[in-house]
Amino acid sequence: MLSVKGLTKIYGKDFRAVDDISFEVLPGQIAGFVGENGAGKTTAIKMMTGVLMPDAGEITIDGYSRTENPLEAKLRMAYVPDNPDMFLRLKGSEFLSLMADIYRVDEKVRPARIDRLATRFGIRDALPLTMSDYSHGMRQKIMIVAALLHEPPVWILDEPMTGLDPSSAYELKQMMKEHAAKGNCVFFSTHVLEVAEELCDVIFLIRKGRMIFNGSLEELKRLHPHMTLEEIFIEMNGKGHEGKQIVTDPSSQGAEL
């Protein structure tokens, strides 16, 4: 449902911010993208969502190639960026109308959808206000509402829980589970390993632009018995793992090289 092959981004002469990353997220799956600050998560996500041009690689969203059918691909995905500070001069309601126009949401279904999502995230009363007056968490919530308005099958979320209060984080997690349970897919980056542990069917660990693990949490734990996810993460990002790749081929998931 979401397929990435050989994705690469080079900055400057030869700094590979994202280096030959490949993975697949199947219908019904929630995938977690985990890695240290600067590992390349946002760069990869920006290429997947069309914000950045890749230097190499192919991206397919719900069967549509990002390069050959960019519009169709875009209509089939929700993108929540890592930074919600945009369109600050608009009122919340104006921003949602703009996004609904861009993503071609039928005017007949708009009010009910906006009402349902804004109520679920507790920002309904803030919609008449200008977004510059929103708190960080409120901006984050309206970005999520805006991204979901056209009800796309593929969700791509860059650190979506950051700044959310516990009830909104809970709502979002529930929504991610419900979305996947309907046969759709969710791909999200996070630093919160407990969230990854709770939600993810598959984990992609990225380090210095390279994929160092691609598989299920059970497989990761089997490779590192008696360790918590936090301990595994720290060990895999430590010196002992310099350049070491665990799995990149989905057909051999779980096998340590």
Ligand X SMILES: Nc1ncnc2c1ncn2[C@@H]1O[C@H](COP(=O)(O)OP(=O)(O)OP(=O)(O)O)[C@@H](O)[C@H]1O
Contacts of 52 (CB under 8 A, 6+ apart): 9, 43, 46
When the beta carbons of 90 and 229 are compared against ligand X, the nearer one is 229
Task: Please report how close the Cβ of residue 177 comes to ligand X at its closest, in angstroms.
Answer: 24
Q: What are phi and psi of 110, to 5 degrees?
A: -55, -55
Task: Please report how close the Cβ of residue 47 comes to ligand X at its closest, in angstroms.
Answer: 10
Locate all alpha helices (DSSP H) within the chain, ordered by sequence.
41-48, 70-75, 92-102, 110-120, 136-148, 166-181, 193-199, 217-223, 229-236
Task: Please report how close the Cβ of residue 82 comes to Mg ion at its closest, in angstroms.
Answer: 5
Which of Mg ion, ligand X, none has residue 37 at its interface (CB below 5 to 8 Å by kind)?
A: ligand X
When the beta carbons of 95 and 204 are compared against ligand X, the nearer one is 204
DSSP secondary structure letter of residue 124:
G
Which of ligand X, Mg ion, none has residue 251 at its interface (CB below 5 to 8 Å by kind)?
A: none
Q: Is 168 in the site for Mg ion (CB under 5 A)?
A: no
Site for ligand X in 18-77 (CB under 6 A): 35, 37-43
C-beta neighbour count of 186 within 10 angstroms: 27
Helix H or strand E encompassing 78:
strand 77-80
When the beta carbons of 20 and 82 are compared against Mg ion, the nearer one is 82
When the beta carbons of 208 and 221 are compared against ligand X, the nearer one is 208
Which of Mg ion, ligand X, none has residue 39 at its interface (CB below 5 to 8 Å by kind)?
A: ligand X
Region near Mg ion per CB under 5 A, out of 36-44, 69-77, 230-238, 249-257: 36-44
**In this chain, which of 11, 109, 228, 235 binds ligand X, going by CB under 6 A?**
11
Site for Mg ion in 39-98 (CB under 5 A): 41-42, 82
DSSP secondary structure letter of residue 241:
G
Q: Is 114 helix (H, G, I), strand (E, B) or coil?
A: helix
Distance of CA 136 to the CA centre of its chain: 19
Q: What are phi and psi of 201, to 5 degrees?
A: -80, -30
Paired tokens of 61: 């969203």
**CB 142 within 8 Å of CB 95:** yes
Task: Please report how close the Cβ of residue 235 comes to Mg ion at its closest, in angstroms.
Answer: 22
When the beta carbons of 29 and 42 are compared against Mg ion, the nearer one is 42
Half-sphere exposure of 241 (CA within 13 A, CB side): 19
Which of ligand X, Mg ion, none has residue 92 at its interface (CB below 5 to 8 Å by kind)?
A: none
Rg (CA), the chain: 18
When the beta carbons of 85 and 178 are compared against ligand X, the nearer one is 85
Contact residues toward ligand X (CB under 6 A) are: 11, 17, 35, 37-43
Please report, as ranges, the residues that interact with Mg ion according to CB under 5 A.
41-42, 82
